Structure 1
């Protein structure tokens, strides 16, 4: 075994390998004996292709050249496509119009909007008789954005008919099995879908409406009609997203209630986390103690865990008496699987094989640690490389990773983006700070009014606790995050007592006031709950904005930003970069043309990873491994700061 400084180890987990494995699967559906899923392909500029696996295992790419099944409703998308009997309906990225795809031919169903990409569609449902669709439409007209449920013909072009309008947001329009009723979710500013939502049912013949569930303090989601006319949905009325059933003329009754999260935050549309089977049992995924696992239960009966290795489940869909799903494990990336009620698994789309020796894979450990008078949670990844060890008496540098959202969570599934670091000798901790999902509503609400406080405290506590445990070098602590995680990164560095030696901010927020005035509709009032109403709470916005604490920065910073980001525009990154430049502090800035909120193009994913490694090597003083051809990143003012 070779002895070399942590961070300098040679590894097969190169940026090129990360890109090869970065083909993401975002949704799956069964169509008879066939299964269709969507693949995000960095090598094709981030395009989402639909792939069909036939009963004999034959794979067919379904979208013609020039089409990309991806919606930008809420900017985060989801619910991009749906299908029946070999016909697919999808939103096309370039123009956001809704298309019908049959026998390899894609025809538009919706008219060309008055504003380019101004009419966006998502989260649709097909009527039982196959004649019409219902879907979410987000209409952009000047500065006005309207979110509505519309109905349109399933097989020919035409102007959609508005069914639901008025609420600030709508989601999950679902038709009953006899097409007589429509269910949908709605909410209004300043709530987000994990705060307060309402589930409504309308009799389409009479227009009579019934509020089924929801309201202040209750988040409902994922309605699904059952053949007998009852409606399943998720609600967190007990503090956990559990499963309930409503019957017309009756009431609401619990189906599955446990101290675990079946639901997830509604950042994207079209999410489905449970599948009722024909025999009355329900297969579902539930988050508990930082891990996501499958289980099955009959209404009112005990829950039976399915003995499967999956630790993260992205989608569950019905497939006759079985389910199809996207799932991954701590040692395998997500794949597509068919699972029976007894837990038998058939692989439909295997995880992409990288040829990586398992000895290079760092398996996450779920940890809990003190943070003031609270307990916070994280996933800890130790360094893993069978060919190297660090010099005797030394400990690895630690990268504190911060998920976006901030109402999201660290996911315990194999990510070569994490192994890129651990196989080089870094330890990594992925923090589920107070406010993260997966630990119940009370934990999620720890961040209300406290963004920039609780998240920062928990990230600092994780780093200090691991250093105190001897699992990391307390003098070589690093922090990185994107979007909301970028804000936490900046806030953690903008303090004189920061323990971090450097940080990487990816499209993060520097000025909360600017964000409140210059972001998209979906998140335009998010800060009302996380910070306070603006401008009434302006003093808090100023106090917690890293740009107003630039004088307290004393650590090098790398900033990575997409030029076309509508969620966190480039001015946020430029504000903090200019502030550090004016103080002649070490800073590096890379702006990626054609990228939005997150990097999708292969060349940009590669450059961002390698630039970050180069940045840390310059800050911590280790040599880059030879043979990878890593282009150094220029860190301004680095020499003058030493």
Structure 2
């Protein structure tokens, strides 16, 4: 079976739509899409339910820079927009008229980060977190939208993020992040400023308390937590006693939770081996008396967001799949229909030309089974050049979502294996912890065994194996080619860590504490971090390397890449390097992606070609 070959540009022209929000009267859906080459705010009417296909949307922002989020006021036709410049992640807040006629800068401090928390129920105030007092810490603020007056609601040397207001607007719910796997929930009284800690701090193990939502009687919070257990589960937190009770006991994470504003309907998304299962309930009489809500079947894929409309009559769902673009679907409960409300282009590529992966598990050095998604060409499936593509994080999970790079490589005849090595999320806290600090290199060993499995099964030509990854995945790439140099014909590192010492010294100051909880600290683990840093084993590299980095990267500063490039140049190892002055942590702008990814494809063709 042969499949027509499409250019890489076609795959990079596949668009996405996400970040849905409803206008106060539920007649308009706002969303973000990269139709213009970078995410901007758009909107589309929901009024005519008899039209089978989406109406033509309206573009509302024209910054030419990434918009991260947009949220309608609960009372007025205006949106609160968060956006950065040049990929620097220093989000600024803007007030956008719903017709796009006006965009007002509310913060105007480009070297400070502002993270939107939510509108007050009456639409007169917003809450947000910011590190304007000290770059290392995030405090909680409230802004009066009419006067512009700003009040500091919580000042503390930590990482405090606003979840939003209580239903009556009298309190702000805050998450204090103590590590990547532990946080506390805090209530702040907006009048007195009194701070109340709802869950105790613990120093070890997992204690995530995520996506809290108010119950119908306002006496408690539904939330997701994995305190004292392996998986994120649905729990109920009694606000009078601060007692938390688990309501579910699944062997998978519940990853998304949303309740209607009145607390009567609940949407819950379960991550089952990387795919999503959406469950809906009427909880107006409490969890024990819940009734499951059924309706049209949603296509199988990965759900990234669930957002209720103001009156709870509609649910917006962001959905994608490996062989389909990311779009927003709206479930209209009153009319019993679900509709794909946005229609992102597939770049002129027939859906049948896109490949869905197989979920496989391969054995590794300690007898564990490592889950992975295997993409194979439709024409030939043995003795292939294969790219092992490693996710970042490390608290992340490869899932079967649309990826233009993967689809293009498969169309070129390569296999792609996307493993969830130890340290990945989605498989329980124990599995997630298997790469912590001094166990770091065990995850790299999992990559070696992926290569061995591919060869043993006859899928991969042992002389045509490449490893590719971004961010922490970039570290995995560099570590793989320095620890197991004999395995790889080529490697691609995108914004990766080369030296843990310089990375921790230079990463955004607000990130260092949380990163040290995962990797180890310079004070206590410096010798080990130096030992495992790929830069100190650069003399072992023999595989040609392609490197990409953005000059504005606040997470993994560009110096990480330039250390590697310089060292390999000195050793005359083939290395190609693309530096983008207007990008940050990864490539956001379509113009830059059109430069970088075809160059990566040419690089791989050079070293993986038959």
Using structure 1 for the length normalisation, give the TM-score.
Answer: 0.84
Q: What is the distance in 2 between the residues matched to 1:419 and 1:606?
A: 15
How far the C-alpha of 1:532 sits from its partner, in A, is 2.0
Find the partner of 1:149 among 140, 144, 152.
140
1:601 aligns to 2:589 (yes or no):
yes
Alpha-carbon distance change, 402 to 302 in structure 1, aligned in 2, over 3 angstroms: farther
Partner of 1:176: 166
Partner of 1:11: 5
How far the C-alpha of 1:455 sits from its partner, in A, is 2.2
Q: Show structure 1 runs of 5+ residues with no match.
A: 3-8, 71-77, 264-271, 623-642
1:222 aligns to 2:250 (yes or no):
no
How far the C-alpha of 1:527 sits from its partner, in A, is 4.1
Partner of 2:250: 258
Q: 8 Å contact 1:361–1:384 — kept in the other structure?
A: no
Find the partner of 2:60 among 27, 47, 63.
63
- SS for the counterpart of 1:535 is helix
1:287 aligns to 2:271 (yes or no):
yes
Find the partner of 2:42 among 43, 50, 65.
50
How far the C-alpha of 1:490 sits from its partner, in A, is 0.4
- SS for the counterpart of 2:600 is helix
Q: Cα deviations across residues 441-476 of structure 1 (Å, max 9, x unaligned)?
A: 121111211464132112221221122122222221
Q: 8 Å contact 2:165–2:171 — kept in the other structure?
A: yes
- SS for the counterpart of 1:49 is strand
Find the partner of 2:122 among 105, 118, 129.
129
- SS for the counterpart of 2:433 is helix
Partner of 2:51: none
- Aligned counterparts, 1:66-145, within 5 A: 66=63, 70=67, 79=69, 81-84=71-74, 85-94=76-85, 96-102=91-97, 103-106=99-102, 108=104, 110=106, 112-113=108-109, 117-139=110-132, 144-145=135-136
Q: 8 Å contact 1:67–1:93 — kept in the other structure?
A: no
Partner of 1:486: 474
How many residues align? The count is 582
Partner of 1:633: none
Partner of 1:245: 236
Alpha-carbon distance change, 146 to 542 in structure 1, aligned in 2, over 3 angstroms: closer
How far the C-alpha of 1:337 sits from its partner, in A, is 0.5
Q: 8 Å contact 2:127–2:164 — kept in the other structure?
A: yes
Q: What is the distance in 1 between the residues matched to 2:532 and 2:294?
A: 43
How far the C-alpha of 1:130 sits from its partner, in A, is 2.1
Partner of 1:347: 340
How far the C-alpha of 1:382 sits from its partner, in A, is 0.9
How far the C-alpha of 1:313 sits from its partner, in A, is 1.1
Q: 8 Å contact 1:400–1:479 — kept in the other structure?
A: yes
How far the C-alpha of 1:480 sits from its partner, in A, is 0.3
Q: What is the distance in 2 between the residues matched to 1:461 and 1:530?
A: 23
1:378 aligns to 2:350 (yes or no):
no
Q: 8 Å contact 1:133–1:154 — kept in the other structure?
A: yes
How far the C-alpha of 1:90 sits from its partner, in A, is 1.4
Partner of 1:631: none
Find the partner of 1:578 among 544, 566, 585.
566
How far the C-alpha of 1:365 sits from its partner, in A, is 1.1
- Aligned counterparts, 1:20-35, within 5 A: 20-21=13-14, 23-31=15-23, 32-35=25-28
Q: What is the distance in 2 between the residues matched to 1:11 and 1:434?
A: 35
- SS for the counterpart of 2:362 is strand
1:326 aligns to 2:293 (yes or no):
no
- SS for the counterpart of 2:432 is helix
Find the partner of 2:576 among 588, 602, 625.
588
How far the C-alpha of 1:603 sits from its partner, in A, is 2.5
- SS for the counterpart of 1:503 is strand
- SS for the counterpart of 1:508 is coil
Q: 8 Å contact 2:91–2:115 — kept in the other structure?
A: no
How far the C-alpha of 1:305 sits from its partner, in A, is 9.2
Q: What is the distance in 2 between the residues matched to 1:440 and 1:100?
A: 40
Partner of 1:627: none
Q: 8 Å contact 1:336–1:348 — kept in the other structure?
A: yes
1:201 aligns to 2:187 (yes or no):
yes
Q: What is the distance in 2 between the residues matched to 1:109 and 1:616?
A: 44
Q: 8 Å contact 1:28–1:35 — kept in the other structure?
A: no
1:162 aligns to 2:152 (yes or no):
yes
Q: What is the distance in 2 between the residues matched to 1:355 and 1:42?
A: 14
- SS for the counterpart of 1:397 is strand
Using structure 2 for the length normalisation, give the TM-score.
Answer: 0.88
- SS for the counterpart of 2:182 is coil
Q: Cα deviations across residues 402-432 of structure 1 (Å, max 9, x unaligned)?
A: 1111111112123222110111110101111
Alignment root-mean-square deviation, CA: 2.7
Q: What is the distance in 1 between the residues matched to 2:327 and 2:102?
A: 27
Q: Cα deviations across residues 345-368 of structure 1 (Å, max 9, x unaligned)?
A: 211112424342344222111112
Q: What is the distance in 2 between the residues matched to 1:197 and 1:166?
A: 14
How far the C-alpha of 1:605 sits from its partner, in A, is 0.8
Q: 8 Å contact 2:33–2:42 — kept in the other structure?
A: no
Q: Show structure 2 runs of 5+ residues with no match.
A: 49-53
Q: What is the distance in 2 between the residues matched to 1:461 and 1:303?
A: 43
Q: 8 Å contact 1:559–1:590 — kept in the other structure?
A: yes
Q: What is the distance in 1 between the residues matched to 2:350 and 2:300?
A: 20
Q: What is the distance in 2 between the residues matched to 1:427 and 1:289?
A: 21
Q: 8 Å contact 1:274–1:285 — kept in the other structure?
A: no
- SS for the counterpart of 1:473 is strand
Q: What is the distance in 2 between the residues matched to 1:408 and 1:554?
A: 29
